[in-house]
A and B are shown apart, each in its own frame.
Chain A
Amino acid sequence: MNKSFLIKIVEQLLIISSLQLLFSVYFKSAVIPSFFLIWLFILTWDGNTEVALMLSFITGIIYDIISRGALGTTSIRFLAIVYITGFLRIKGTAGRFICAAFFSLIFFLSFLFEPGKGFLWDTWPLIKYSGIFVIYNGLMLILLELSIRRYRWKWKKDYLGIS
């Protein structure tokens, strides 16, 4: 892992953490998109699964602090999702959107599932709020992917001297 890559990752972590914090404070909605999860998906699909796994632990802890959850629980969820996603090689935006939506659904439902008791919300609210979460995450994935692609293209253009 070279120095510039590490700096880039730390930069992105700061931006994503700020976005997550800002949304959790100012976004007037019952459900807030998980920027960390989306970012981990993007890192994994870019072939940085090992880095994404390491960051799953860190971002999980930050997520638990922001959302006042029990420390460590989200890390386990992130690690499991990233590990599975690491085996899926998805190139197209549509495929990525579907995959992100599916795992976002699993992520959301995992908070409300109690072994032996089932889901701790009724079916309709469960569908409604998990649906909102999935849509938010899908939209954020597209937005983040587009902005990262644009950033990469700008970097390539500057590096190769394309006018």
Chain B
Amino acid sequence: MIWFFRREIIFVMGILFSLFIMGKSKHVNVKSTENANKVEEKLNYEELVAENIRLRNILGIKEKESYFSRFAVGNVLSLRPHVFPVEIVISKGAAQGIREGMSVVSMDLSLVGRVSEVQKNTSKVVTVFNTMSRVSVIVDSTNEVGIMEGGSVPYCLLKYISRESKIKKGDSVQTSGYSDFHPKGIKVGEIVEVVKAQDSLFFDIHIKPYSCVSQMEEVLIGE
């Protein structure tokens, strides 16, 4: 009888094990934040050196840019999906003062996204590639304000820029500060394409985000 349902038994057991690992990995993530020193001991020397350099750079940024000194540093625990991630999980949560809606920036201080869900020691971040992402941005060269939407990977779509605008390829874009989530002046990306859409009062503009989310190891979180 059992042999007849062997496939189903293996399937159910596999699912249960996977769910167990999913729960366990969350637990490990929480533990790893709490006992960072213990984890560091297990890393190899090269990894430690690389991490040291990265953290020194972040420290340098935080010292140079006084505004970002208030930001917390978090590790990127997982990406979803691996390419142009729409969601990342970071190693900082409510216990470290993280709140929903906080901005997340990369090590080179360009926008990654905003915190969408907070657990005790981890948080979910909606990146600029997510269709749910809407960011109020300003074009440096013309000072025009538009809304940057995610979803059109590998770029983001800048909307509501008038067809009369002098906007051009290569112009850089930063956060406008008009939204509730992101402070003013965070670098966002560079305009790579300006399309005159037919029967529309606005340009369709593609922005290439500066932050390479899939390669990221650490991020800064704050407001």
Contacts and interface: CB of A to CB of B under 8 A. Distances in A.
A15 interface: no
Contact of A68 (B18, B78, B86): B78
Q: Is the interface of B mostly helix, strand, loop or mixed?
A: mixed
A111 B131 contact: no
Contacts of A124: 152
Given A76-B15, A121-B86, A70 B10 contact: no
B153 A72 contact: no
Interface in A87-133: 108, 111-112, 117-122, 124-125, 129
A122 B14 contact: no
Given A30-B84, A79-B15, A117-B132, A50 B25 contact: no
A109 to B, nearest CB: 10
B94 interface: no
A121 B153 contact: yes
Given A75-B18, A120-B131, A112 B7 contact: no
Interface stretch (A53-61, A137-145, A154-162): A53-61
Given A69-B79, A125-B152, A79 B18 contact: yes
Contacts of A73: 18, 22
Contacts of A121: 84, 86, 129, 131, 151-153
A112 B87 CA distance: 10
Given A60-B18, A129-B83, A83 B11 contact: yes
A54 B130 contact: no
A23 B14 CA distance: 27
A83 B5 CA distance: 12
Contacts of B76: 68
Given A50-B7, A121-B153, A72 B78 contact: no
Nearest to B217: A68
Contact of B7 (A53, A111, A117): A53
Given A53-B11, A57-B14, A120 B86 contact: yes
A86 interface: yes
Given A75-B18, A112-B86, A120-B86, A69 B7 contact: no
B21 interface: yes
Interface of A: 24, 30-32, 49-50, 53-54, 56-57, 60-61, 64, 67-73, 75-76, 79, 83, 86, 108, 111-112, 117-122, 124-125, 129
Given A70-B78, A111-B81, 8 more contacts: A57-B14, A60-B18, A72-B19, A108-B81, A120-B87, A120-B129, A120-B131, A121-B131
